[in-house]
Structure 1
Amino acid sequence: MLKYLFFFSFICTVAFSQTKVGGKVVDEFGEPIPFANVIFKNSKEGVITDENGYFYFESDNDYTVLQVSFVGFETLDVPLKKGLNSNLNIVLKEGTTLKEVVVYTGKTSKKNNPALDILRKIWARKRKNGLYMFDQYKYDKYEKVEFDINTIDSAFMSSKVFKGMEFVFDNIDTSRITGKAFLPIFINESISEVYGDNIKKKKKEILTANKKAMGNGDGVNTFIKDLYADYDIYNNYLKFFDKAFVSPLSRTGIDVYNYVLNDSAFIDNKWCYNIVYYPRRKGELTFKGDFWVNDSTWAIKKINLEASKSANINWVKEIYIEQEFDVLNDSVFLLKRDYMMSDFSFSKKEESKGLYGKRTTIVKNHVFNQPKDDKFYKEEVNFYDNKVFDKSDEFWSENRFEKLNRNESSIYKMLDTLQTVPKFKRIYNLATILGSGYIQFGHFDYGPIFSTFGYNDVEGQRIRMGGRTYFGPNDRWRLQGYTAYGFKDNKFKYGISGKWMVNTKKRLILNAGNRRDVEQIGVSLTTSNDVLGRSFASSSLFSSGTNNKLTSVNLTTVGAEIEPVKNLVFQTNFSYRTLKSASDAFSLDYYTDATQSEIKSEVKQSEINLVVEYTPKRKTVGYGVERLEVDNNYARFFVSYSNGFKGVMNSDFNYQKLQLFYRQPVLVGGFGRLFTTFETGKIFGEVPLGLMGVVPGNQSWFIIENTYNLLDYYDFVADEYASLHFEHHFNGRLFSRIPGLRKLNLREIVGIKGVYGSVSDENKRINASGLNYVAPENVYWEYHAGVGNIFKVLRIDFAWRGSYMDMPNARKFAVKASFGFYF
């Protein structure tokens, strides 16, 4: 049933352009011929076949003959009928004499190759072309993003799911890239002004108009925005779907691409060379295609890139890019048009159904060398202007850089109509529930539904119910809460919190809350006072060993935060908590006097906390009191200072706590991404076990970030610590070189982590818990190696202990797993 949410199906008569051709090129034995040259005879319009011999392209002109050529084979002329010529099976015969070479197969030479001589000249000039030639620049940009359902058949169309929604099939079109029929289902248009300063290395984009189907929700449109990030073909690596593809213009391209000088011609009165390129090996993140480059400026005039179907990327069957550059003042080449299309599908088989994601960007009206001050480039923290999203249809008719075609124009009306169809609303709501984890009832969301059931050694089976207010993604205030019940301890728990954004420009937010629950303390070195944060206590159903070291927490907080500069947040809050053991098998006892004659089991503590958090290049969705993060591939710098006050509200301890957290992901060329995480902290003053730093163990069967795979909870405690984690994701770079593993698209992960810590004598003296304080003074470390992308959703890590082998019940080896949907 759910598949119908994403894939509609249809059969129809296609509205033809002048000439469309598609099919497969094979040899006399039926074997596909990859990278063969297919063109309309006596023209410059053509493509090269993919690694399986398939091709498709079209032209607005009438052509009657298709010419197919390949080195070592006889060139073949194929007669065409007017309009569509699909499913052609073109057989090339081996030639007796070698004719003019158009495209080479196999590895081309790195010596005496004129294509590489041209490539080196492109490298030398790549930072001296286009916008780089000016100190400042400004231009207008129009962007159109679209989602289409593709590869339709009659079985889907005749399904009862579409009863009452047959009108959607009136908007069918055919892709000029793949030849597949598709149905547009989503469109987003925007117009903006872009300013840049190459000297200051500043850039700013001001959105002036935005129009999209399906209202102003934060889901689909933001997802698309993340998928279609900006890229520069002159860069060595192009990032798509969190993967670094090697650009054909890269300085390392010689090692991964074959290059052939194919042709030369005048384009817009500029003499240009045509270079065809294709991958040297399968399974790597590369493209195939060709580009035209000017013979004097060595600037790109036209380029197309098509991702190799064997590339190690999930859920994406095809990526296709076209860029065209305009000539200004005879020597300046500026990007005029950028088109990108991705084919999302559960399978890479040719007949599999999927979704096209398409983005068209057009730029014009360039202005140069008009400087702006630094204040102008200061990014808006929380921009939201209703006027931008409220432009009339007349405005769009007059200001679009290009007209919508008939089917695109119909999307808005079609989706408005769909939202009135009860059946569609039910399907749409089901998808929303699975995506967000909440069930909506008017302006109240019930959930998250995935936290409804849990288990731990203290509560036994646990049931949780909760919800939040929700009027939209830009809500300025939100209330949320939950209640839970444990069937073993027969106790109710609860949590409630509220947030209110007082100032939208600077995101000044006031918050307050209270939580009474059972918690697993010590799952993270860097602590927070998030009242409704994730609880690991209820996850013990999938854990190793006994997990009864749980704490009953009663936490109340009042606080505020402000974001004066984009992605720089200051927080302060006052908290009061009581802590006591939730189990007879675990104690938080401490001595209250120097003679160690008096013992107290409950901790009462008031605290003021100050936090500075900086997350450069973080992308978020929405403008409300809560925002969604697009991804986690950004640096995070976090500093926290806490002060405990003895006597305030009967508080027990005076102390100061300082913590620092730094996480930095780095793309390492074509070798994947390295994640480095550093944490350090120190507690000044006397504190009991409940307020100590606990080195985070991991007793679950799953991978938990920033924990130690072979430690149990409370194996190590520390009031002074430093932790360093390295984890590198190769993204299949190594496995792609092994023939037997290449087709599995597995991905390699390696990592090492270590922690140093100590405990002061004064904190040891007041310890009456019965737990022997052990600090990693000789550095505890472990390492792991893993295989990801198993069946596209599973990762398995193997972890080994590197030190403290003689600890009681020390685990020396563990296997952990995680599930997820990743590109």
Structure 2
Amino acid sequence: MNSDITYKRLLLFIAFVFSSITLFAQATVVTGTVTDANTRKPLSFVTVAFTGSSIGANTDDNGKYTLRTTKPLTQLSISFVGYKTATLSVVPGKEQVINVKLFPEAKQLTEVVVKSGKKPKYRNRDNPAVELIRQVIAHKEQNRPEAYNFVEYKEYDKTQMSFINVSEQLSERKFFKKYKFFLDNKDSTILPGKTLLPVYLDEKLSQTYYRKHPEKTKTLILGQKSVNFGSFMDSEGFGTYLKRMYNPIDIYQNNIFLMTNNFLSPIADGGPTFYKYFITDTLQVGNSKLIQLSFTPRNTTDMLFEGDIYITLDGNYAVQQVRMTINKNINLNWVRTMAIALDFEQNPDNRWHLSRSDVRADFGTSKKGNHGIFAERTITFKNYLVNNSRPDTTYDGEATETVPDAKSRPATYWAENRLDTLSKAESRVYKNIDSLQSMPSFRRTADIVTLLLAGYKSFGKFEVGPANTFYSFNPVEGFRLRLGGRTTPELSKRYYFETYAAYGFKDERWKYFLSATYSLNNKSIYKFPQNYIRASFQRDTKIPGADLQFVQEDNFLLSFKRGNNDKYLYNDFYRLDYVHEFENHFSYTLGLKKWTQSPAGSLYFNNFENGRLNSIHDLTTTEATLSLRYAPHEQFYQGKIYRIPIPSKYPVISLDYTAGLKNVLGGEYNYQKLHASIGRRTYLSQLGYADITVEGANIFGQAPFPLLEIHRANQTYAYDLDSYNLMNFMEFVSDHYAALNIDQHFMGFFFNKIPLFKRLKWRETASLKVLYGGIRDENNPSIHPDLYQFPISEGAPITYSLGSKPYVEGSVGVENIFKFIRVDFVKRFNYLDHPDVPSWGIRTRVKFDF
């Protein structure tokens, strides 16, 4: 497991904690079902509320509702269009079930048409609702803002997060009295039937200019204000993650990215294949005639919406309003409800533009829980101008720029320029969090949370960890203890130090690491854009060919491995690295490394000199490296002292050049290595997504096998995305190779059609890994005996070069088991005659996903 926790896990942990809070007050809890008095069928979307209060809720698809309050309210009001309003008595302070039968309003009918027979089966053919949606699809491009030559507007972006239904009496308990100022700051107006305790708020005001020819979008951030969590959490990184979950909605796009998943838009090109449409009503709004079109998923577990869309009948078939949510059966983790509201305003030329977007969702560890987390992102657009030509200088520079004083705007600026309003509770959250994070008791609690989630114990300027590496074991070192830590930005934003020491009780050797880093741009070295120089020394063990991404090799769980894995190296690394990232997400790294490797365990280095076997104690190389990387629009899970790239639809391209320098700092060989890779996440709409990586390398010059490409193998029982999971360590070596890696996630597209799997909400995966490679004659030890010989075990070779056929392995699997476990059946298709290689295996992986 990665020692650095993502914000996703933090959100789920917080949701779990608050889902477990005991309600100390004597709450009035009313549950029940609302039905039609005549047909006895349940009624959906009925408004149920405590009389004389703002506490209310709507019934679900089965007519069920739940209301909760600690206020002494005694009456319940139930209302629904077309039915008589009912008022019933409630006993305060008790849990009770009140089922309601609503009677229809009596109306005089002018005409009654009775038709016999079954309800007609839904079909697209000759369906006026489908014909209408096809017109909307055909007119999408002309209704998008990009249809204009020039567009400009001011945008106000507000994101808030709150805890749901924290007990009103909690602040009266002895332990929590000191937090009363924070716990009593609640809002009961936003979410009917629930109270919200705001804990996070981020506001951003910006001005955007769009030009069609040549196409360029320029955004100036005029003001930005966010809650400051202090040393406990990176507020900017948390905000980036939250906004990624609540991505801006473009209804005209085929796919809408929300909660890290792709949802199909109701007006997507392929919408009629996945949605059912119904014409509900015809409306007159001002001078505009609209059609209300309802839509619902054909399969309620797919990543689809349901709701209503209002379409103009002026020949443009533009979207005027959207109200949509998700079905309760959707294959989406943690999210209990989600509601999206889009409002459009008319331009002077009678076209329509988005004026307000509101996305809200609450989530927790239980679908039916009364506690959890609620978050909402509201984007308001004003001063919308079209075809207003601007000088070319308006679009110069980076796509997004921040004006100098944007993050230090006074309260008066926000009061005058905010395009929306803050609730009373929201307006207090900045001051409350500032006060909270400065309290010693809260800081102690935050330290415990950080230790549990991230594995680090903070001591302010220094932190110790990660905890999952304190103890491990392997065949060479035996029982291994390790203790380490690193400095934090509280010590300095310029200087950073990291160290650890480890001891193996079997080999009786100390291992250690020390690095010193200097930031050249006076920013944290973990934040974009990086610009730093680092010097480091490491003496430790390593398995040749083991390259587990984002994982500490001495993680305790990885101590368990299949087969024989006692061939290790003792490595000494002296490194000097310079890293420079640019705002356009291009970066380069310059490095100089002295590397001494000695065989350990049953591994040995042998060659033949004058026909005699010669044993080699160690191998020293000196390498100069240049790495180029381009990752357009890259974002990160950003923490205080870590960051993890977020996969996206944009490619990540890297090119690495390494030169071995003979007779420089003891280097023994001259060689060059060129490596290139390109990877990206390809979104396939309702078929999920695929992570695809293509890479290749070539080594120029003669070098012994430890300096060639020892292909990434994995002998643990964890499924590793970037390694070959049924390949043995050191099994294959190449001086040139090309590889393809595809990891497909179908997100339940097929399982959602199978009743049992649909209920379990499992999801399908498949992968394919293909590796071509080989060794040229100049690096073949059987042709050049003076080169290091490939290792053998009990007289049989264990290291090979790839032949004319590639190494191929694939897998099919199930993920989302218990919402976070992935299990793969992995199959190896060739080179099965090698000793101790499995032809198949079961591998697992822990993955938190929505």
* Counterpart Cα distance in 2 of 1:643 and 1:375: 45
Task: Please tell me the residue identity of whatever aligns with 1:78.
Answer: T
Contact 1:137/1:197, CA 8 A, preserved across alignment: yes
1:509 maps to what in 2?
532
Distance across 2 between alignment mates of 1:56 and 1:341 = 20
Residue 155 of structure 2 corresponds to 141
Given the alignment, which residue of 587, 592, 614 partners 2:604?
A: 587
Matches within 5 A, 1:538-549: 540-549=558-567
> Secondary structure of the residue that 1:347 maps to in structure 2?
coil
* Deviation of the 1:360 alpha carbon: 1.1
1:76 aligns with 2:77: no
- Call closer, same or farther: CA 1:99–1:484 in 2, change over 3 Å: farther
Alignment of 1:605 with 2:606, yes or no, is: no
Deviation of the 1:337 alpha carbon: 0.9
Q: Is the CA contact (8 Å cut-off) linking 1:130 and 1:332 kept in structure 2? A: no
* Structure 1 residue corresponding to 2:356, chosen from 332, 337, 342: 337
Deviation at 1:391, TM superposition (A): 1.7
Give the letter for the 2:743 counterpart.
Answer: E
For residue 290 of structure 1, report the CA deviation from its aligned partner.
0.7
Which secondary structure state, in structure 2, belongs to the residue aligned with residue 230 of structure 1?
Answer: coil
**Cα distance 1:450–1:178, how it changes in 2: closer, same or farther (>3 A)?**
farther
Question: What amino acid maps onto 1:698 in structure 2?
Answer: N
The DSSP-based 3-state class of the residue aligned with 1:127 is: helix
Give the C-alpha shift of residue 392 in structure 1. 1.4
* Structure 2 Cα separation of the partners of residues 31 and 653 of structure 1: 86
The residue number in structure 1 matching 2:336 is 317
**Alpha-carbon offset, residue 596 of structure 1:** 5.9
Q: 1:308 to 1:343 in 2, by over 3 A?
A: same
| Distance in 2 (alpha carbons) for counterparts of 1:662 and 1:791 | 33
Q: CA deviation at 1:616?
A: 2.0
Query: Which AA in structure 2 matches 1:589?
Result: N
- Cα deviations across residues 634-670 of structure 1 (Å, max 9, x unaligned)? 5321111111111112211111111112212100121
1:227 positional shift: 1.3
Q: What is the aligned counterpart of 1:51 among 42, 45, 61?
A: 61
Question: 1:388-787 residue pairs with structure 2 within 5 A?
Answer: 388-471=406-489, 475-503=493-521, 507-524=530-547, 534-535=552-553, 540-583=558-601, 585-591=602-608, 598-620=614-636, 627-630=643-646, 634-763=650-779, 764=781, 765=784, 766-768=787-789, 770-771=791-792, 772=797, 773-777=799-803, 778-787=805-814
Cα distance change on mapping 1:664 and 1:685 into 2, 3 Å: same
1:111 equivalent in structure 2: 125
Cα distance in 1 for partners of 2:541, 2:586 equals: 33
Q: Cα 1:65–1:307, aligned 2, differ >3 Å: closer, same or farther?
A: closer
Shift of residue 695 of structure 1? 1.8
Give the TM-score normalised by structure 2.
0.84
Separation of aligned partners in 1, 2:519 and 2:38: 69
**Contact residue 171 and residue 184 of structure 2 kept, 8 A:** no
Q: CA deviation at 1:699?
A: 0.6
Is 1:387 aligned to 2:405, yes or no? yes
1:755 CA displacement: 1.0
Distance 1:34 1:716, change over 3 A: farther
**Do the aligned partners of residues 403 and 353 (structure 1) sit closer, same or farther apart at CA in structure 2, a change above 3 Å counting?**
same
Q: Aligned to 1:670, what secondary structure does the other structure show?
A: helix
Pair 1:360 & 2:374 matched: no
Match of 2:179 among 154, 158, 165: 165
Are 1:328 and 2:347 counterparts? yes
- Identify if the C-alpha distance between structure 1 residues 108 and 175 changes in structure 2 by more than 3 Å, giving closer, same or farther: farther
User: Amino acid of the residue matched to residue 176 of structure 2?
Assistant: F
Query: CA contact under 8 A between 1:581 and 1:587: conserved in structure 2?
Result: yes
Q: Aligned AA for 2:685? A: G
1:273 to 291, 299, 306: 291
User: Could you tell me how far apart the structure 2 residues matched to 1:491 and 1:615 are?
Assistant: 41
Report deviation, 1:311.
1.1
Q: Which residue of 2 aligns with 1:193?
A: 207
Q: 1:180 aligns with which of 186, 190, 194?
A: 194
What is the letter of the counterpart of residue 803 of structure 1?
N
Instruction: Please tell me the residue identity of whatever aligns with 2:80.
Output: Q
The DSSP-based 3-state class of the residue aligned with 2:605 is coil
Residues 357 and 22 of structure 1, relative CA distance in 2, 3 Å threshold = farther
1:209 corresponds to which of 210, 216, 223: 223
d(CA) in 2 for partners of 1:124, 1:32: 39
Q: What corresponds to 2:840 in structure 1?
A: 813
Residue type matched to 1:784 in 2?
Answer: S
Partners in 1 of 2:281 and 2:678 — Cα distance? 51
Q: Aligned in 2, Cα 1:399/1:728: closer, same or farther, shift over 3 Å?
A: same
Whole-angstrom distance in 1 between the partners of 2:59 and 2:102: 13
Answering whether residue 814 of structure 2 is matched by residue 803 of structure 1, we say: no
Find the aligned partners of 1:174 and 1:668 in 2 and give their Cα distance. Answer: 40
Against the structure 1 CA distance between its residues 147 and 198, is the aligned structure 2 distance closer, same or farther, given a 3 Å change threshold? same
SS at match of 2:138: helix
Higher mean C-alpha displacement, 745-754 vs 245-254:
245-254
SS in structure 1 opposite 2:263? strand
The alpha-carbon deviation at position 693 of structure 1 amounts to: 1.0
Distance 1:663 1:298 in 2: 39
Q: Residue 25 of structure 1: CA displacement?
A: 4.0
Kindly provide the CA deviation profile for residues 395-441 of structure 1, in whole angstroms up to 9, marking residues without a partner as x: 22222112212121222232233234433332223223334432221
Matched to 2:800, the amino acid is V
Q: Secondary structure at the match of 2:685?
A: coil
Q: Paired residues, what number?
A: 789
Relative to structure 1, the CA distance from residue 749 to residue 625 in structure 2 (aligned partners, 3 Å threshold; closer, same or farther) is: closer
1:546-591 CA-to-partner distances (Å, cap 9, x unmatched) read: 21111111111112222245211111111111011122x1113345
* 1:482 CA drift (Å): 1.4
The residue that corresponds to 2:321 in the other structure is: 302
CA contact (8 A) 1:519 1:537 kept: no
**Per the alignment, do residues 164 and 99 of structure 1 end up closer, same or farther by CA in structure 2, a change over 3 Å counting?**
farther
Distance 1:224 1:459 in 2: 43
Shift of residue 23 of structure 1? 7.2
Aligned sequence identity (%): 27
Q: Which residue of 1 aligns with 2:73?
A: none
Tell me the equivalent position of 2:79. Answer: 66
User: 2: distance between equivalents of 1:166 and 1:295?
Assistant: 54
> Does the aligned pair in 1 maintain the 2:217–2:399 contact within 8 Å?
no
Tell me how far 1:136 sits from its aligned partner. Answer: 2.3
Q: Following the alignment from structure 2 to structure 1, what is the Cα–Cα distance between the partners of residues 261 and 378?
A: 21
What do the CA deviations read for 1:282-341 (whole angstroms, capped 9, x no partner)?
Answer: 211111111211111211111111011211111111111101111121512111111110
Q: Is the CA contact 1:671–1:733 (under 8 Å) kept in the aligned structure 2?
A: yes
User: TM-score when scaled to structure 1?
Assistant: 0.87
Query: Alpha carbons of 1:359 and 1:10: their partners in 2 closer, same or farther (altered >3 Å)?
Result: farther
The equivalent of 2:300 in structure 1 is 282
- C-alpha deviations, 1:431-488, integer Å up to 9, x for none? 2333443222121122222222222111112122212221269934422121111111
Contact 1:292 1:302 in 2 (8 A): yes
Question: Could you say what secondary structure the match of 1:582 adopts?
Answer: strand
Q: Residues 89, 327 of structure 1: CA spacing in aligned structure 2 closer, same or farther, 3 A cutoff? A: farther
Instruction: Give unmatched runs, 5+ long, in structure 1.
Output: 15-20, 41-45, 58-62, 69-74, 527-531
